[in-house]
Amino acid sequence: MESLIIDCDPGVDDMVAILLAHHVANVKGIVTVSGNVPVDTTTKNALLATELLQSDTPVYQGSAQPLESEPVHSAHVHGSDGLGGVPRIEHRRRPKAKDGVDFLLEEPTPDDWIVALGPLTNVASAIRRDPSWVNRIRGISLMGGSTTVGNITPTAEFNVYADPEAAACVFESGASIQMCGLNLTHQLLITDETIKELQGIDSDLAQFVTPMLNFLLYRMEALVGRRYAAMHDPCAVLAVTHPALFNFEKQSVHVELCGTLTRGMTVCDQRTTRRREQPNVQVALEIDAETARSLVIGSLKSP
Ligand code: BDR
Ligand code: CA
């Protein structure tokens, strides 16, 4: 099994990714970051995931603020608690005392993947403190960016937009990077059919996840007029554990920091001629969505 450290901002799809990751990989720790909701809330949600899983995976709280910009949240999609207001289970779990960035710097071995599912503030902070850290990890599998359209702006995807300086630092770091952007994650959709399938599963995980995903469909319907939603973050887990489900292409990817209309855009060089640079990112272009969806649903059948 692949060994992972998850850096995340749960978030409905982060929660699904955490549950999936515990089913298909060895999860060494979870680090939280400000993103969909403030970091105190993303930390509570990560702890709730470990309670649902009855897992000892340690949770470390990370950055409360982007590196240089003001925090941006996405409560209009995920709800003010990040999880669509679903009922919570009582528990006594707390985050570890160690700071999340310290954990990221100290824990990984060269076999460990960093699976980054939120703004890249913690990962970039680790790189700024020790640029050689990227040589001591297996790689970074991230959900972020897009080769095509954005979501939070016409050109920018939320995780990159929420901390563009951090994303730029990561993309320029020399790390081995796999990117699951919106161009890819929009292929892995859930619909009312998925909800029906989940309703037929008799497990605590499915009972927790079903109303959360139903809330997401309801929000997507209100925001964009359609009852389907992309399972963004699980893609970055599967890109590590099931790479055969993906088609990747190596491209140069850089983050736009200055554009008045394009700040936070991932500029992906998709030209087939005149490319001058060495590509720095394995960009995921296609996923076998049917198999991926059945892996996600299968992970909810038992802890
Ligand atoms: C990304 O932004 C967040 O809202 C999701 O959790 C996902 O990581 C999609 O743009
Ligand atoms: Ca996320």
Helix or strand holding residue 8 (H, E): strand 3-8
The pLDDT tens digits along the chain (303 residues) read 999 999 999 999 999 999 999 999 999 999 999 999 999 999 999 999 999 999 999 999 999 999 999 999 999 999 999 999 999 999 999 999 999 999 999 999 999 999 999 999 999 999 999 999 999 999 999 999 999 999 999 999 999 999 999 999 999 999 999 999 999 999 999 999 999 999 999 999 999 999 999 999 999 999 999 999 999 999 999 999 999 999 999 999 999 999 999 999 999 999 988 877 899 999 999 999 999 999 999 999 976
Catalytic residues: 232
Contact between 8 and 118 under an 8 Å Cβ cutoff? The reply is: yes
Beta-strand (E) ranges in 144-290?
177-180, 189-190, 229-230, 246-251, 253-255, 266-268, 281-287
Any atom of ligand 1 within 6 Å of the Cβ of 119: no
Q: Ligand 2 centroid vs 116 CA: distance in angstroms?
A: 8
> Measured from the CA of 78, which atom of ligand 1 is nearest?
4
The dihedral over CA atoms of 12, 14, 16, 17, expressed in degrees to the nearest 10, equals: 170
**CB of residue 61 inside a 6 A radius of ligand 1:** no
Closest CA to 203 of 4, 54, 40: 54
Amino acid found at 266: T
Residue 83, amino acid: L
In short, whether 163's Cβ falls inside 6 Å of ligand 1 is no
- At residue 152, the 3 state secondary structure works out as coil
CA nearest ligand 1 atom 10, residue? 158
Assign 85 to helix, strand or coil.
Answer: coil
- The pTM of the full predicted model, rounded to 2 decimals, is 0.98
Closest-lying ligand 1 atom to the alpha carbon of residue 11: 6
Smallest Cα–Cα separation from 196: which of 174, 156, 227, 236? Answer: 227
What DSSP string runs through 42-78?
A: HHHHHHHHHHHHT----EEE--SS-SSS-----HHHH
Pocket flag, ligand 1, residue 143 (CB < 6 Å):
yes
Report the separation in Å between the CA atom of 51 and the middle of ligand 2, taken as the mean of its atom positions: 19
Crossing angle of helices 12-24 and 39-53, rounded to 10°: 40
Q: Is 233 in the pocket of ligand 1 (CB under 6 A)?
A: yes
11 preceded by cis ω (within 30°)? yes
Tell me the CA–centroid distance for residue 108 and ligand 1, in Å.
Answer: 24
Q: Which atom number of ligand 1 is nearest to the Cα of residue 158?
A: 10
